[in-house]
């Protein structure tokens, strides 16, 4: 399912993907010739006419995950416009992706394509966007900041304020660092890839930061009392969520706990 709507100067495309009773929304944003993310290939039939109708002159990918980049190879083949991603994500896009079965079923297959390393500043006809590297959810994650309008295109930096489960490639302490970094910029509206348009974006990100720092503190405290990662998980996250089951427990609160403990040991 696809919905299109306008917010300020931004054309928003909301893609809803469903699988065994779980619905996930992904948003693509288009402003002044710039397309931010290309959406999952499972929505191919709905997305192609939209891409054909928009005057796209360049594409920025917030990170290499398949729900954000799935249509990039189609765009590369049909539009001949530059596609940018953070330099550390270029090789992820060039290779056939090795994603687990359930993610392939949910989002569709990713075909390799050749992006270019993103410059520090993305310029469109009327706007400038500063590129901020914000790892934690993905090593190549970036957000785009426009000073004049106070826009922040946040990719997956926010998503939810109280995440209860993560993938092994994610890290709570790295996320905390990235959110703190973004607070140095004076943004107001947060264009989130999953949660959509959040007019009080700073408050949303502040509540996530607070939550993650609380978790960090609690994990460290329980670790000092002698509890191991598994015991800490049971104490802080006793419930099992649908996403954990769907992913065969590849998505788990244990990864949140481990990312914090590994950081303590490395500190
Ligand atoms: Zn992602």
For position 128, which CATH number holds?
3.60.15.10
Residue 101: the pLDDT is 74
* 227 Cα–ligand 1 center, Å: 31
How much is the pLDDT for 266? Answer: 61
What CA–CA distance (Å, rounded) separates 15 from 2?
A: 5
Q: What spacing in Å lies between the alpha carbon of 120 and ligand 1's midpoint?
A: 21
Please list all protein residues whose beta carbon sits less than 5 angstroms from ligand 1, which is an ion.
Answer: 65, 156
CA 60 to chain centre: 13
Number of domains, the chain: 1
pLDDT at 10: 98
**224 C-alpha vs ligand 1 centroid, how far in Å?**
32
> What Rg do the C-alpha atoms of the chain give, in angstroms?
18
Give the residue numbers spanning the domain of 196.
2-266
Quote the ligand 1 centre to 104 CA distance (angstroms). 14
Task: Note the pTM of the prediction, 2 decimals.
Answer: 0.95
Spans of the chain below 70 pLDDT: 264-267
Within 10 angstroms of residue 43's Cβ, the number of other Cβ atoms is 23
Question: Which neighbouring-strand residues pair with 15?
Answer: 2, 26
Could you tell me the distance, in angstroms and rounded to a whole number, from the CA of residue 226 to the centre of ligand 1?
33
Nearest-5° angle of CA 186, CA 176, CA 193?
65
- Which residue has tokens 């191919």? 44
State the distance from the centre of ligand 1 to the C-alpha of 199, rounded, in angstroms. Answer: 22
Ligand 1 centroid to Cα of residue 70, in Å, is 12
Distance 193 CA to ligand 1 centre (A): 9
């Amino acid at each position: 399912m696809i919905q299109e709507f306008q917010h300020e100067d931004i054309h928003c495309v909301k893609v809803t993907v469903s699988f065994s009773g779980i619905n996930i929304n992904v948003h693509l944003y288009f402003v002044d010739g710039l397309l931010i993310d290309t959406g999952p290939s499972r929505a191919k039939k709905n997305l192609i006419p939209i891409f054909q109708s928009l005057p796209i002159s360049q594409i920025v990918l917030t990170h290499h995950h398949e729900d954000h980049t799935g249509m990039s190879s189609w765009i590369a083949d049909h539009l001949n416009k530059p596609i940018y991603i953070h330099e550390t994500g270029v090789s992820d896009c060039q290779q056939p992706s090795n994603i687990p079965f359930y993610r392939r079923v949910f989002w569709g297959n990713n075909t390799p394509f050749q992006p270019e390393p993103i410059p520090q500043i993305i310029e469109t006809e009327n706007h400038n966007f500063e590129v901020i590297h914000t790892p934690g959810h993905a090593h190549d994650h970036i957000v785009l900041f426009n000073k004049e309008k106070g826009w922040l295109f946040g990719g997956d930096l926010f998503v939810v304020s109280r995440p209860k489960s993560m993938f092994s490639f994610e890290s709570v302490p790295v996320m905390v660092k990235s959110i703190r970094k973004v607070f140095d910029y004076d943004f107001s509206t947060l264009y989130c890839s999953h949660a959509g348009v959040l007019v009080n974006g700073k408050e949303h990100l502040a509540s996530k930061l607070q939550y993650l720092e609380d978790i960090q503190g609690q994990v460290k405290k329980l670790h000092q009392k002698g509890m191991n990662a598994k015991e800490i998980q049971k104490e802080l996250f006793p419930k099992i969520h649908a996403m954990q089951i769907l992913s065969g427990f590849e998505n788990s609160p244990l990864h949140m706990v481990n990312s914090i403990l590994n950081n303590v040991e490395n500190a």
